[in-house]
Amino acid sequence: MTKTLAVLGSTGSIGVQALEVAELMGFEVQALTANSRTDIIEEQIRKFAPKIAAVADEKAAADLKIRVADTSTKILAGKQGVEECARCGADTVLNSIVGIAGLAPTLAAIDAGSNIALANKETLVAGGKIVLDAAEKKGISILPVDSEHSAIFQSLQGCQGKSQIKRLILTASGGPFFGKKKEELENVTIEQALNHPNWSMGAKITIDSATMMNKGLELIEAAWLFGMKAADIDILVHRQSIVHSLVEYVDNSVIAQLGVPDMRIPIQYALTYPDRFVSPVKQLDLAQAATLTFEKPDYETFACINLCRKAFEMGGLYPAAVNAANEKANELFRNGKIRFLDIPRAVEAAFDYTADVSDYTLEQVFETDSLIRSETERLFI
Ligand code: NAD
Ligand code: MG
């Protein structure tokens, strides 16, 4: 039987690659969503003929309705429209929306009983336990798309239980500013920060890679996904992005997943798990790669990593708060409003404005998100 799929954030870097995989695998695409790029989503609608599609921006949605009036795809608008697409009931909903905007759609898709292929790491960072509890209640799986988490998930196949795992090791490319000290980063430009050495990705995550906030977010994502303590997750800078992450077992055996840096591998695995299929991705040529290097991150210069570790250890709303501060500061930096090192400063400042609670509701997550965004703007503009 043909597998059905919905892609949320289909016009982005991951969304476009997910549709490439879907086409190759012959999946039936039931729903697509975007924020504003009507030209791209129009093309996708014509190619995949989904039952429904949504555009978060209301004006853009009206434009799309006119563009595809000759097709049978129903066009919805706004946040609600995106959530309705998430509820389409596809076998798998792949969420590649960027930022906390992905949280409510993830919960909607879980509620509708779809399995989740998750690229939108901010969903787990901010929503944490709420998302996992909802998934458990519905008996659905959350399969990682993020390359490091896919690597860990793949390295855990055959693991007989959590007591056998000693630690997880996330690899990091180190981003464009690897080897630089704090003083050298004070005046870096947006163009320099957007120049990632190994991966071509959306703008927000590319800046997150330059600050290494991305690795901090991934540490929290891994802690939730695999039920690990933050203390049992280590980070190694691996400049070549070939070893995508590793699992160390109690017998000191280390199992890793390797491959060329191409997101279509983890996307395909999340969509076809537990099966594997032929992929158009280039074969890994280790003889050509020749050298693989590993070293400890510079936690002093890239302060965001340990701020995320601390947020996860403090628990409650702190992960949502550091995520919100980063999303806002990242956006302000991309708009030329603040300097690069204001991003870690904003993430650090978020702790002072966060309510210290152990249990929290979804409403509190969204309240924290908007409070920290406005505090960040107030403090740094
Ligand atoms: P992107 O900016 O290229 O695409 C983001 C998508 O989300 C677009 O389709 C956009 O229309 C949509 N979107 C943005 N704001 C929205 C809103 N308010 N409401 C609804 N839709 C909205 O980003 P990306 O690089 O594809 O990353 C997407 C997610 O995947 C992020 O969470 C990122 O951290 C994660 N991720 C990306 C990569 C990568 O290689 N690009 C790797 C691992 C994880
Ligand atoms: Mg990653």
Query: Is 27:18 a contact under the CB 8 Å cutoff?
Result: no
Is residue 270 domain-resident? no
127 pocket-lining for ligand 1 (C-beta < 6 Å)? no
Q: Whose CA is nearest to atom 24 of ligand 1?
A: 202
Write down the pTM of the prediction.
Answer: 0.98
| pLDDT value, residue 197 | 87
- Which of 99, 120, 141 finishes a domain? 120
- Phi first, then psi: give them for residue 32, nearest 5 degrees: -135, 145
User: 49 with 111, same domain?
Assistant: yes
**pLDDT tens digits, one per residue of 71-118:** 999 999 999 999 999 999 999 999 999 999 999 999 999 999 999 999
pLDDT at 366: 98
If we measure between CA atoms, which residue out of 104, 97, 106 comes closest to residue 35?
A: 97
Q: CATH code at 254?
A: 1.10.1740.10
| Residue 11 Cα: closest atom of ligand 1 | 9
The reply to whether 90 and 191 lie within a common domain is no
- What is the pLDDT at residue 83? 98
Residues 195 and 314 in one domain: yes
Query: For residue 254, how far is its CA from the centre of ligand 1 (angstroms)?
Result: 32
Pick the residue whose CA is nearest to atom 23 on ligand 1. Answer: 202
Cα 41 to Cα 123: distance, rounded to the nearest angstrom: 23
List Cα–Cα distances, 78 to 93, 96, 252, 366, in angstroms. 18, 17, 50, 17
- Asked if 203 and 156 sit in the same domain, the reply is yes
Q: Residue 269: inside a domain, yes or no?
A: no
219 plus 316 within the same structural domain? yes
Q: 10-residue block means of pLDDT along the chain (381 residues)?
A: 94 98 98 97 98 98 98 98 98 98 98 98 97 98 98 98 98 97 97 92 97 98 98 98 98 98 98 97 96 98 98 98 98 98 98 97 98 98 93
Q: Tokens 């690659």: give the residue.
A: 17
Closest CA to 172 of 15, 287, 298: 298
Instruction: Indicate whether residue 199 lines ligand 1 (CB < 6 A).
Output: yes
101 lines ligand 1 (CB under 6 A): yes
Domain end, chosen from 66, 98, 120, is at: 120
**Residue 219 is assigned to a structural domain of this protein:** yes
The structural domain count of the chain equals: 2
Q: Is residue 333 part of a domain?
A: yes
Residues 221, 302 share a domain: yes
Q: Which domain holds residue 101?
A: 4-120
Q: Is residue 113 included in any domain, yes or no?
A: yes
Q: Are 213 and 343 in a shared domain?
A: yes
Probe target for ligand 1 pocket from 96, 214, 218, with the most ligand atoms within 8 Å of CB: 96
Question: Residues 194, 312: one domain?
Answer: yes
**pLDDT of res. 199:** 86
pLDDT for 349 equals: 98
Here the CATH number for the domain that contains residue 112 is 3.40.50.720
Angle subtended at Cα 224 by Cα 218 and Cα 226, rounded to the nearest 5 degrees: 95
Residue-level length of the chain:
381
pLDDT tens, residue by residue, 337-355:
999 999 999 999 999 999 9
- Rounded to whole angstroms, what are the CA distances from 226 to 142, 160, 230, 286, 338? 11, 14, 11, 29, 35
Pocket test for ligand 1, best of 106, 194, 205 (most atoms within 8 A of CB): 205
Reference 350, options 332, 334, 333, 327; nearest CA is 327
End of a domain among 100, 120, 140? 120
Whether residues 116 and 156 fall in one domain? no
Q: For residue 305, give the nearest of 369, 356, 197, 230 by alpha carbon.
A: 230
Q: Are residues 208 and 316 in the same domain?
A: yes
